[in-house]
Amino acid sequence: MATKIKLMRLGKMRAPYYRIVVADARTKRDGRVIETIGKYHPKEHPSFIEVDGDRAAYWLGVGAQATDPVERILKVTGDWQKFKGEPAPAPMLVAEPKADKKLAFQAAARESIEGAAAGAATTPKKKATKPDAQQPADAPAGAAATAEQPAAAEQTAPAAPAASDAPAAVAAPVVADEPDAPAPAGDSPAAQ
């Protein structure tokens, strides 16, 4: 059976990540695998590469053929050179480890406790409110608001309809029997 070391695609559209797998050469790209020997995440910066070097060397030793992308990955990690007996490559770029959130929280809590013990305020004090420029200094605060409310109510109230001796016309829906017939007018002699 011919075996290949190839990439098996996983992930969403435009966010792929791969497993480095050993599979039969006749299987589909994401089909049945014999063994998973690593991971490759190209969208991270720097790319995340993790390969089990011993298993890769074993499978290369028993005749498994690495595809071109996997061969380049193995050259970056140094497993290909180790298998071929060549000098090791330059060390690969590795992302810095993420800071532990629990330790950061404990440090921030410790700083706040030390600041409170030293007498520093933890919350800012309220600022004094400034008197309004429109309100006179001797008038109470509520007087300006009540004086403005009636003026605003008069402006926003809708105008009352003018009273007249003529009766109000009631609009009735017009239904036409024929689609081409003109609709009757309200005061025309034809409508009576």
**What are the pLDDT digits (tens) for 69-91?**
999 999 998 888 888 888 888 77
98 pLDDT band, cuts 50/70/90, is: confident
pLDDT score, position 16: 94
- Indicate the number of domains in the chain: 1
Domain assignment present for 61: yes
Domain assignment present for 175: no
Compute the distance between CA of residue 109 and CA of residue 63 in angstroms, rounded to an integer: 58
Average pLDDT over residues 49-76: 92
Q: What's the domain range around 50?
A: 3-84
pLDDT score, position 147: 52
> How does pLDDT run across 17-46, given as a tens digit for each residue?
999 999 999 988 888 989 999 999 999 888
Domain assignment present for 66: yes
CATH number, position 46:
3.30.1320.10
Domain assignment present for 132: no
Compute the distance between CA of residue 34 and CA of residue 3 in angstroms, rounded to an integer: 9
Other CB atoms within 10 Å distance of the CB of residue 64: 21
For all residues of the chain together, what is the average pLDDT?
Answer: 77
Domain assignment present for 168: no
Q: DSSP class of residue 191? A: G
pLDDT at 95 over 80: no
pLDDT at 62 over 80: yes
Task: Say if CB 32 and CB 3 are below 8 A apart.
Answer: no
pLDDT score, position 137: 57
- Which residue's entry shows tokens 């024929």? 178
Domain assignment present for 46: yes
pLDDT at 102 over 60: yes
Domain assignment present for 184: no
Domain assignment present for 97: no
Compute the distance between CA of residue 64 and CA of residue 94 in angstroms, rounded to an integer: 28
Q: Where are the beta strands (DSSP E) in 103-190?
A: none
Cβ burial 86-118 (10 Å sphere, 16+ → b, else e):
eeeeeeeeeeeeeeeeeeeeeeeeeeeeeeeee
Q: Where are the beta strands (DSSP E) in 42-84?
A: 48-51, 65-66
Angle (CA) 6 10 12, round 5°: 145
Average pLDDT over residues 162-186: 58
